[in-house]
């Protein structure tokens, strides 16, 4: 009756796990593995379940903004270094 607890979706080479009505009992380390003739690869992720108060929401938002700014700065410096290397050659 209603939605299942979880579903696994496959779209091309992308797979995803959707957990419905997530609760504290669902908090865990989840692992995904793929295998073929060349070998096996695995990855894992931690699912934390808790209340999101306004402070945590703002904290995550600003952490993402900071990360994006750092990534842009790094990309810009890499680009400058490549251009300097070309002109020096």
| 32-63: pLDDT as tens digits | 999 999 999 999 999 988 877 888 888 888 99
Contact indicator for 40, 34 with CB cutoff of 8 Å:
yes
Is the predicted pLDDT of residue 83 greater than 80, yes or no?
no
Q: How far apart are CA 64 and CA 58, in angstroms?
A: 10
Q: How far apart are CA 28 and CA 48, in angstroms?
A: 7
CA dihedral for 53, 56, 60, 65, sign (positive or negative): positive
Tell me if residue 84 falls in helix, strand or coil. Answer: helix
Tokens of 49: 């379940």
* Per-residue model confidence (pLDDT) at position 6: 92
Interval 7-28: pLDDT, tens? 999 999 899 999 998 888 999 9
* Per-residue model confidence (pLDDT) at position 40: 96
Domain ranges of the chain: 1-50, 51-89
Read off the DSSP letter of residue 4. Answer: -
Assessment of whether the complete model's pTM goes beyond 0.85? no
């Amino acid at each position: 009756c209603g939605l299942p607890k979880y579903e696994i979706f496959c779209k091309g080479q992308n797979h995803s796990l959707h957990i419905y009505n997530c609760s504290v009992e669902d908090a865990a380390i989840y692992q995904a593995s793929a295998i073929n003739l060349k070998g096996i690869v695995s990855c894992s992720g931690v699912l934390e379940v808790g209340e999101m108060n306004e402070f945590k929401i703002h904290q995550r938002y600003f952490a993402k903004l900071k990360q994006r700014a750092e990534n842009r700065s790094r990309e810009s410096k890499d680009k400058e270094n490549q251009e300097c290397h070309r002109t020096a050659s």
